[in-house]
Structure 1
């Protein structure tokens, strides 16, 4: 089941440039390309406020455990999990990209199992 995702035109352009600069086989590249290929692209000023975009902070819930997480979606060179910044090339980063509040995703977790995550809130800024 593909969940509908939305991207701004400027995020799409920056992410396509990022993909072009990466070496073939770079971890996460195929997942990001797949996300971009299925996204609805909108003008920057038409991006809904509740959509996870580059630089936005998403708060989400593990529906199985009730545990909440919050991460800012960033480019690979800005990633720092300890500081709450997740790369768009990480499996969870590309999975969160373009989701809206209320949508759920299966997030690949360490150890090979998937967590069902629901987006609770998005802040831009």
Structure 2
């Protein structure tokens, strides 16, 4: 068994990573190679900022490809449990910040597919760590960088 880090994620999250990897390998790599060719045509490479920029872009793309390949290879798909009694990975959870906060709803996913702006929070986030394993109706203290807050879980789907 490999000692590589495992990446919990939903099947949808793995598909998004696979799509990004395919785009980088089939489209972006070719674009970067073309940028390098054009930049080389400008002459002296030692003072060629376009060439330097294109090589930096190539390094970034190749690094991202390597990262995505590792994440996909070590993906652990989160099974959709039918039990909505407890907060777990893959669940959509709604809660109120107490005493009078607004309702917030997030889906708890692996760090590889977290996107808070889309309502997807990492299982490693302070909120997720605090509510994992909890039930509807429970009040939970959450330690955040901004301080402690209390939340009440109102639904799990």
* Residue correspondence of structure 1 range 23-62 to structure 2 within 5 A: 48-62=83-97
C-alpha separation between the residues in 2 aligned to 1:106 and 1:122?
A: 18
Equivalent in the alignment of 2:5: 21
Residues 25-44 of structure 1 show CA distances to partners (whole Å, capped at 9, x for unaligned) of: xxxxxxxxxxxxxxxxxxx9
Q: Could you say what the CA RMSD is over the residues aligned between the two structures, in angstroms?
A: 2.2
Which residue in the other structure is 2:120 paired with?
Answer: 85
Query: More relative contact order in 1 or in 2 (CA 8 Å, sep 6+)?
Result: 1
By percentage of residues, which structure has more strand?
A: 1
Q: TM-score, normalised by structure 1?
A: 0.58
Which residue is 2:154 aligned to? 120
Question: Which of 132, 137, 140 is 1:105 aligned to?
Answer: 140
Deviation at 1:50, TM superposition (A): 2.4
- Count of residue correspondences: 81
The answer for unaligned runs of 5 or more in structure 1 is: 1-19, 23-43
Superposed CA offset, 1:27-69 (max 9, x none): xxxxxxxxxxxxxxxxx9x974221111010000111233111
Could you report, residue by residue, the CA deviation over 1:52-101 in whole angstroms, capped at 9, with x for unpaired residues?
11101000011123311100000000100000000001111111111110
Runs of 5+ consecutive residues of structure 2 not aligned to the other structure: 7-78
Aligned to 2:86, what secondary structure does the other structure show?
Answer: coil
TM-score, with structure 2 as normaliser: 0.47
Contact 1:73 1:88 in 2 (8 A): yes
C-alpha distance in structure 1 between counterparts of 2:100 and 2:144, whole Å: 13
Q: CA deviation at 1:107?
A: 1.1
Contact 1:54/1:73 (CA < 8 Å) preserved in 2?
yes
